[in-house]
């Protein structure tokens, strides 16, 4: 599990903020303590990410959640279920955002939007 934990953290630490030149790790949106991994079956794991937006009314929180989900879905080298939440008490509309970023259909619909998809791709691209 420790190996899976560090692999999940390595995947998300390089995601860039949609508006700043920094990574989510540099902005402390994601930290080591925000990742949990639990074994839920034979060789399958539940990965839980709790991220902290830079400000309580951050308009990009949904987008950041989407970036986390897309990058982890693509890059995690093991079978997993993924739950992504905003750290409790760190955003004014955390419940709505949590629902949105954990709803497969809404995530799929968001990724069908070319503008949104382009932003996500830029954020999740590996640094050179």
H-type alpha helices, the chain: 2-13, 61-75, 94-101, 104-112, 114-124
Whole-number pLDDT of residue 126: 86
Distance in Å from the first CA to the final CA of the chain? 29
Condensed to tens digits (0 to 9), the pLDDT of residues 46-105 reads 999 999 999 999 899 999 999 999 999 999 999 999 999 999 999 999 999 999 999 999
Range of the domain at 22: 1-124
pTM: 0.95
Cβ–Cβ under 8 Å, residues 47 and 8:
yes
**What whole-number distance in Å separates Cα of residue 25 and Cα of residue 93?**
22
Whole-number pLDDT of residue 45: 97
Whole-number pLDDT of residue 106: 96
Cα 85 to the center of its chain, rounded Å: 8
Rg (C-alpha) for the chain, rounded Å, is 14
Whole-number pLDDT of residue 41: 93
Residue partners of 76: CB distance under 8 A and separation at least 6: 7, 8, 11, 47, 82
Cβ–Cβ under 8 Å, residues 58 and 48:
no
The number of domains in the chain is 1
Q: What is the CATH number of the domain that holds 51?
A: 3.30.300.130
């Amino acid at each position: 599990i420790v190996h899976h934990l560090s692999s999940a953290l390595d995947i998300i630490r390089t995601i860039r903020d949609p508006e700043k030149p920094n990574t989510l790790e540099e902005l402390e949106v994601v930290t080591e303590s925000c990742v949990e991994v639990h074994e839920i079956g034979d060789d399958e794991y539940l990965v839980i990410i709790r991220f902290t937006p830079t400000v309580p009314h951050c308009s990009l929180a949904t987008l950041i959640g989407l970036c986390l989900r897309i990058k982890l879905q693509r890059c995690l080298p093991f079978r997993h279920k993924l739950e992504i939440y905003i750290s409790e008490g760190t955003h004014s509309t955390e419940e709505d955002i949590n629902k949105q970023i954990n709803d497969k259909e809404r995530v799929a619909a968001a990724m069908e939007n070319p503008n949104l998809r382009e932003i996500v791709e830029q954020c999740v691209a590996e640094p050179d």
